[in-house]
Every structure is written in C-alpha cells, then in structure tokens.
Amino acid sequence: MSLLGRIVVIIFALLMAIVAAGITLAAGILLPEWQVMDSDPVERVLFFFAAFFATSYVGAVAFMPALLVIVIAEAARMRRFLYYGIGGALVGLASYYGTNMSVRLENTTDVAPVGNALQLAAAAGIIAGLVYWLIAGRNAGRWREPHTPNAA
C-alpha cells in the first residue's frame, strides 16, 4: 500500500473511531436515564442529537492526542490491539483532564451532572482505540515494507 493510500485509511479509521467514542459518550450519559424518560418520541430522539454533539466534541478535543498515538504506532509498526486500547484510554483521559466541560456547563443546562465522567472518558477512548485498530491499526507501518507479488 502506498503512503497516500495509508493516509486515506488512517483518516477514515480516525473518523470512525471518533464516531464510536461519541456514541459511547452519548450512551453512557443518556442510557442510565432512558427508563425514566417519558415515552415521548422527541425525548428519545434527543439521544441521537446528543450522540452527534458528543461526536463533534470528541473530534475537536481528542484529534491531536489521537494523531500523536497514531504517528507513534506507524513509526514503531505497533499492530497489537492492546496498544490501541491503552492508547485510546490515555487519549480519552487526556481529553477529559485537558478540558473541564462540566464547569462550563454547570449553570447553563438542566442536564444532571455525570457522576462517572472519568470512567466514561476512558471507556470511550478504549472503544475508539479498538475501532481504529480494527480498521487501520492492524496494518500499521506496512506501507514501508517492500511489496512482494504473490507467485501464481
């Protein structure tokens, strides 16, 4: 695979990992309250809007730390899923500690504070790391290896 093709795969995998992390955050925030919500379909649809917001927020906050983990993996040819799970957890925790969103939202919304935010950030990072591994991480650094055609 050429370098340009690898970059396209990396960008796609990073976008899918960000979507997975955003959905994880939305599920972690809203699913505990799912049973007490009214059966109003509008409230149920709010889940998907929260997932969209969480995805865009995750993408903005975690992009640079995730890119650092990806560059290290490509340079060192790290292909183990454990690296991506731990790296994702570290990116999630760095994003959590790097921003203090709860203080900014404290007086502006009616949303109850999330009690397990640290665990939720780590879980979203782990899931994002594993999604990235499934798409691109399993082939990290292979673009630098010489291509050998199969003998027919």
**Residue 128: predicted pLDDT:** 94
- Sites in the chain below the pLDDT cut of 70: 1, 33-34, 36-39, 43-44, 47, 51, 54-55, 100-115, 151-152
What's the rounded Cα separation, in Å, for the pair 63 and 15?
9
**Residue 30: predicted pLDDT:** 72
**Residue 137: predicted pLDDT:** 86
**Residue 42: predicted pLDDT:** 76
